[in-house]
Amino acid sequence: MSSFDRHPSTVADFDEARRRERLRETRLGHGWRRWRRARLVGLRIIGVLVVAMIVFGQYWVHDVVPERERLAQTAPELLPVHLPADARDWDTAVVDMVGLGGVNAVPTAMALPVLSRLGVVWAVRYDNAGIDTKVIAEMIVRAARYGNVRNIVLVGHSMGGIIALEVARHIHLGSDRRLVAVVLDCTPMDLDAVRPENRSRGADLVRWVGWLPGARESRLLRFAVEMSARRERFAQRDGLFFDIDFTAAREVSAEVLRDKIFSRDAASNGLIEAQFLAIVAGGGAADLRALGKPNPDKRNPAIVFIRPRDGSRDDVVDVEYSHKVLIEHSGGVDGTLSVVRPTRIEHANPIQRPREYNEVIEAQVLPFVRRYQEANRHDPP
């Protein structure tokens, strides 16, 4: 005989109705008679908020604070790259600046040794906390005075050209150094020159930075934005869902972590925001007008625009649009504009196409800029 046969009441003790009744008796708020539902909803909300605060606290302590402390110690730097190819050119400095998402122009300037045919070559390393073009201009002028450099040539790649134009205005109008030329490499002269897909990515980041606390420093947010920008490489839309290639996703995430999160030369969210807003502000045309106004003490600088001959090769900037803006403000019979259109370059990629860039700079940019350099040398100090 089984134990259940000997004690039949045991089966009754475990019926479903008694079990459910016991659960109701032990449930939170069982004995509440007034505002029971409202009180339960309030407790659930408090529970969710507590969990959210714990998660936010971990995000703030482990993501935002360390990056904020690091960025507080950054400052713009002017780094030497090449000595002049000719000792007679020690009176001229060529200053290189990179574009959106970049911090350090040294690798780009290293790929362009031909620039040393104009003078000593320096590269700007931006302050990762943001951009102040007046500070950059003053830094260049101080270094020029210290090195007895009289003439300045600025080179800006992509969005770096917008920064270079603003720095040029400060140097030309507010210093005793002579601005010889500004070389723009595939520069978007305003937001309309940025192709729509790239414009939306920048706008998304600025939007996130605008409302999410700590977003200017958050590496987690940067990782999400960079992965989203590369999603075509590992995710394909299948109706309402995405078909994800996890092997490709791991490769992309490793690339983002290496190049954009942990690299010393990766731009912070705050720097990218400042760079993108410089394009949004559309100050390039105003800077061109300022550089083109008659000045009794200084010659107007040369403006050089390097762009692909086939504009469709640049998938970031509508170089045809920028070309038109430059002609409007710096071209014409008495203008200072020279447009160079090599066939084999793409978007501001001298590191990827060093041979093409060096050849076209030597053949077409140097002769044009040298005329302005020599003219400035013959002017009284």
How many Cβ atoms from other residues are within 10 Å of residue 272's Cβ?
Answer: 24
Model confidence at 105: pLDDT above 70: yes
| CATH homologous superfamily of 77-193+278-378 | Alpha/Beta hydrolase fold, catalytic domain (3.40.50.1820)
Model confidence at 345: pLDDT above 70: yes
Among 325, 205, 324, 346, which residue's Cα sits nearest to residue 276?
Answer: 205
Q: What is the mean pLDDT of residues 107-131?
A: 94
Judge contact between 105 and 78, C-beta under 8 A: no
In this prediction, residue 97 carries a pLDDT of 96
225's tokens: 């934005």
Model confidence at 14: pLDDT above 80: no
Which of 47-51, 151-155, 160-164, 180-184 is the least confident region? 47-51
Q: What is the mean pLDDT of residues 42-66?
A: 80
Measured CA to CA, the distance from residue 10 to residue 8 in angstroms comes to 5
Task: State the chain's mean pLDDT as an integer.
Answer: 84
Q: Which has more confidence, 64 or 353?
A: 353
**Contact residues for 156 (Cβ-Cβ < 8 A; gap 6+):** 97, 99, 162, 163, 164, 165, 182, 183, 184, 185, 187
**Confidence class of residue 357 from pLDDT cuts 50, 70 and 90?**
very high
Among 375, 356, 380, 342, which residue's Cα sits nearest to residue 111?
Answer: 356
In this prediction, residue 259 carries a pLDDT of 79
In this prediction, residue 23 carries a pLDDT of 61
Domain boundaries, the chain: 77-193+278-378
191's tokens: 């937001």
3-state secondary structure of 119: coil
